[in-house]
Amino acid sequence: MNIDNWIKKLTGFFTEVGVELKKSEWPGRAELIRSTGVIIISVAALAVFVGVSDYILIKALKLLVGGL
């Protein structure tokens, strides 16, 4: 594949991406803020769950193994 063909394909790709992005329906400010809040809370809850689970499993393994 020569460089001119590659550049044409790349340019065409980005042109198509722009066309598709213009077709997209973007969320309003209120919906964006609400969705961002849900994601932040979900990630924080998952982090707490993983942290607590890790702590409990470490304590359980220390009890089983004898505190090596």
Contact 59, 66 (CB under 8 A): no
Measured CA to CA in angstroms, residue 1 lies from 6, 10, 14, 58 at distances of 7, 13, 19, 56
pTM over 0.85: no
Measured in whole angstroms, the distance separating CA 4 from the mean position of its chain's CA atoms is 36
Residuewise pLDDT in 10s, the chain (68 residues):
688 888 899 999 999 999 999 999 999 999 999 999 999 999 999 999 999 999 999 999 999 998 65
- Determine the 3-state secondary structure of 25 from DSSP: coil
Task: State how far the Cα of 12 lies from the Cα of 3, in Å rounded to an integer.
Answer: 14
- Determine the 3-state secondary structure of 54 from DSSP: helix
pLDDT tens digit sequence for 22-38: 999 999 999 999 999 99
